[in-house]
Copies of this chain bind each other. A is one copy, B any other.
Amino acid sequence: MKDLPPPPGDLAPNVLHPLCPSRQVLQMLTSRWGALILVALAGRTLRFSQLRRELGDVSERMLAQTLQGLEAHGMVRRVAHDVVPPHVEYSLTLIGDEAAGLVRGLAGWVERRLPDILSVASQR
């Protein structure tokens, strides 16, 4: 089981290349709920429903689906306690934490620059 050559035929991974897998990974990290889940999960562990309330308006379906995608790519860790009323905890993996840091950086920048962005006076 060795590493597969990431970019099919190409030399290095490049998001500008249509067929490079990096593009899909980037899209999952920046997808509507993907990005917000990373932000919400940064530095803490949350249960499914806590996460749901945290994001405010995700449907259960989307939350579950997005979490599965993030988990499948090693960004999120899922720990299920086999108890009667289900109890499942989600947290970031090491690599997920790295991604979250970058996503948070972007989200934070948007929040700080929001006034300038909304008053499109920031031209030039």
Contacts and interface: CB of A to CB of B under 8 A. Distances in A.
Contacts of A73: 117, 120
A122 interface: yes
Interface string A40-58: 1000000000000011110
Interface in A22-74: 22-23, 25-27, 29-32, 35-36, 39-40, 54-57, 72-74
Contacts of A79: none
B110 A26 contact: yes
Interface in A79-124: 93-95, 98-99, 102-103, 105-107, 109-124
A76 B120 CA distance: 11
